Amino acid sequence: MNPTNSPKLTTWLTVPEQSDFPIQNIPFGIFRSNASTPPRVGSRIGDTVIDIHALSTLGYLGNCPVPTEALAQDKLNAFFAMGRPAITALRNKISEIFRSDNAVLRDHEDHRLLICQQVNEVTMLMPVFIQDYTDFYSSMEHATNAGKMFRDPANALLPNWKHLPVGYHGRSSSIILSGTDIHRPKGQTKADDQDMPSFGPCKLLDFELEMAFITCKENKLGSSVSTSEAPDYIAGFVLFNDWSARDIQKWEYVPLGPFLSKNFASSISAWVVTLDALEPFQVASPKQDPPVLPYLQYKGDWNYNINLEVWIQPEKGESTRVTLSNFKYMYWNICQQLAHHTVNGCNIQVGDLYGSGTISGPDDTSYGSMLEITWRGSKPVKLKDGSERKFIQDSDTVILKGYAEKDGVRIGFGEVSTKVLPAI
């Protein structure tokens, strides 16, 4: 075990019970103290945001291979471009500094005030500049449910689905940070009883419960990344809500796939949780039958036991949890996704984002979209305030949460919270 993941580790910082951010996590993000201060790289333990740039300038990082200038950026790209070894080294150093038995910073009050700030006193910013974005379709349960609804229920999966990780190239410019409101999208739709399409606001707005990984290494155009090499290219994960306009999608997706139904917004969490922090939660993938081609074969356990929740909060009233799923259900894992993405010579870049696709479990308590939870609106969900939802309404706030738990340690992602405003 990486010693930074030991359940025995404690910190001299205060960590609330059930916090997503114990000393075993140490995620990375970008924050600003106030409007007059520049953004910089930070981490988090409990409710304390750690100014890593200040740690460096005050001499606490020692021989850590990450230069100070990489920590004074408004995105994590420069830091991540140093690769997994540098990410691991910095995380290890932060763990060392903040352990209960390390008094070097703990007993230096002046420096503590410069380095440690409360999360409610800072503004979180987009963690990375996302140059490109790919969304996969890697949950067999979700693909099967969609196939049953829109195709032949007896042949829900298309013939290629169990042979390759299906994906499409999404729109990176409309990926937004948690807390950013969106407007209901507009587009063409066609009712089943009408001969011609009409234009207007989406009526069937949906969330998609996903995880997404972010790359920290490039390959040259024409080269590929194998499944064994893939972990070296991945910095970590964020939570991801890949919003979908189902009625627009139904009309436009044949023959090339989603366009206006998906490109209006996708929401991500603020903290990038590293692969290092998630090592204790790796689990075996579902058995793949038929066997995959050699370039998609892999060694080790590359699924993750991460609990995933979605909550709907109406404008007035408390929130209601509408699903509890898990990342471990993914049929295609991250190593296979990246290997397939690059097997034709596609070059990836630092900061690229790769969505998992909607993550659904085996029953309606673990489905990852309203499309499935309400089965195309035929089984409305009742919220705590007594109202019902077939899909997401104006003024609803959709909240995604994710966390892994083992041996008394909880590693979480915070949340992705997005309010839906009326179309404009």
Residues sharing a CB contact under 8 Å with residue 410, sequence separation 6 or more, in sequence order: 18, 19, 20, 22, 403, 404
Count Cα neighbours of 286 within 13 Å in the Cβ-side half-sphere.
Answer: 17
Contact 410, 344 (CB under 8 A): no
- CA-CA distances (angstroms) from residue 38 to 29, 30, 31, 75? 14, 10, 9, 11
Torsion sign across C-alpha atoms 31, 33, 39, 42? negative
| Rounded distance between C-alpha atoms, residue 240 and residue 268, angstroms | 5
Strand boundaries in 6-86, DSSP class E: 29-32, 40-45, 48-51
Burial classification of residue 333, based on how many CB atoms lie within 10 Å of its CB (0-12 exposed, 13-18 middle, 19 or more buried): buried
Residues sharing a CB contact under 8 Å with residue 238, sequence separation 6 or more, in sequence order: 127, 211, 212, 214, 268, 269, 271, 272, 273, 353, 413
Please report where in the chains the tokens 């830091």 appear, as a residue. Answer: 79
Contact 48, 117 (CB under 8 A): yes
Active site residues: 142
In three-state secondary structure terms, 160 is coil
Residues sharing a CB contact under 8 Å with residue 394, sequence separation 6 or more, in sequence order: 184, 420, 421, 422
CA 131 remoteness from chain centre = 16
Give the type of residue at 131.
Q
Contact 247, 203 (CB under 8 A): yes
In three-state secondary structure terms, 328 is helix
Contact 90, 66 (CB under 8 A): yes
Other Cβ atoms closer than 10 A to 315: 11
